[in-house]
Amino acid sequence: MSSASNKIALFIDGANLYSTAKTLGFDIDYKRLLKEFQNRGTLVRALYYTAIIQDQEYTSIRPLIDWLDYNGYTVVTKATKEFIENQTHPDAEKADESCGAHRSGRRKRRAAE
């Protein structure tokens, strides 16, 4: 089968790719990545999925998102909100008391809408 007849769709989980690259200590060349898949067949679409924090004027990922959008990727974003979870819920306290544990304080978490 020739590479010209191969149809390719590229789906990138942005958060996991970024985290993995950071852990391994290298940068992703997104332009080269796109060209590599274009050389392997007909690239039908290249999608980059990521979450952005809602209500933030600036996010460090914004320049990358803009660059990807301008250079041939379709960027799909999901807005997240930051919630502060009170860990002193009455049911949690009862469960903690029964096993001799104690919880206090609050914890932040992010959830996609």
Going by C-alpha positions, the residue among 64, 77, 60, 3 that lies closest to residue 30 is 64
> In this predicted model, what pLDDT tens digit does every residue of 92-110 receive, in sequence order?
555 545 555 444 444 455 5
Max distance between CA atoms of the chain, in angstroms, equals 67
Across 1-24, b (16+ Cβ under 10 Å) vs e yields: eeeeeeeeebebebeebbeeeeee
pLDDT higher for 41 or 3?
A: 41
Structure tokens at 92: 């949690």
* Better-scored residue on pLDDT, 46 or 80: 46
Q: Looking at the chain, how many residues does it have?
A: 113
Instruction: Kindly report, residue by residue over 12-62, the tens digit of the pLDDT.
Output: 999 999 889 999 999 999 999 999 999 999 999 999 999 988 777 788 888
